[in-house]
A and B are shown apart, each in its own frame.
Chain A
Amino acid sequence: NAGVTQTPKFQVLKTGQSMTLQCAQDMNHEYMSWYRQDPGMGLRLIHYSVGAGITDQGEVPNGYNVSRSTTEDFPLRLLSAAPSQTSVYFCASSTQYPPSTEAFFGQGTRLTVV
Chain B
Amino acid sequence: AQSVTQLDSQVPVFEEAPVELRCNYSSSVSVYLFWYVQYPNQGLQLLLKYLSGSTLVKGINGFEAEFNKSQTSFHLRKPSVHISDTAEYFCAVSDQSGGSYIPTFGRGTSLIVHP
Contact = CB atoms under 8 A, between A and B. Distances in A.
Interface of A: 31, 33, 35, 40-45, 48, 50, 56, 58, 90, 92, 94, 96, 98-99, 101-103, 105-108
Contacts of A41: 107
B105 A42 contact: yes
A33 B32 contact: no
Interface in B29-88: 32, 34, 42-46, 49, 51
Given A41-B107, A101-B51, A94 B102 contact: yes
Contacts of B43: 90, 105-108
B35 to A, nearest CB: 10
Interface of B: 6, 9, 32, 34, 42-46, 49, 51, 90, 92, 94, 96, 100-108
Contacts, number: 57
A42 B94 contact: no
A44 B94 CA distance: 14
Given A90-B43, A105-B43, A108-B43, A48 B102 contact: yes
B108 A42 contact: yes
A110 B96 CA distance: 32
B101 A96 contact: yes
A43 B90 contact: yes
A24 B7 CA distance: 34
Contact of B102 (A33, A44, A107): A33
Contacts of B106: 42
A56 B1 CA distance: 14
Contacts of B9: 40
B105 A102 contact: no
